Amino acid sequence: MKRILITAAVTAALAVPAYAQAPSAPITTSKVNITQEQRHIIKEIIKTLPVTSAASNVHISVGDVATPDAHAQPIPAEVAAKVPQIKSHLFFVKDGKIAIVDPKDNKIAEVID
């Protein structure tokens, strides 16, 4: 009788569906701390500048490396004066988006849409 009960318990335990945890996608968050207002200031100033747009093969996501095809350039003085936390960064433009690049590792720290 014990054997039957043990077998039944094991069978019941194995019959319960197992829910595997789905692998989570990496979370990409900004690497610079700027407000919505500062994002707006950056966009308004940079959109008035004559800048060369990045090549079509350039990826523009936080964490991506800015390749030479991105045509990254220093943050304009007017932007640096109003958003000092990015004054040492670089930027480039692609498809109307502005990528802020950290010069230490040449990775995109922020994307402004």
At residue 57 the predicted structure's pLDDT band, cuts being 50, 70 and 90, is very high
What is the pLDDT at residue 32? 85
Window from 23-37, 40-54, 58-72, 79-93 with minimum mean pLDDT: 23-37
What is the pLDDT at residue 63? 96
Q: What is the pLDDT of residues 10-43, one digit of tens each?
A: 555 555 454 444 444 444 455 789 999 999 999 9
Burial class (CB in 10 A: 0-12, 13-18, 19+), 75: buried
Integer Cα distance of 82 and 72 in angstroms: 20
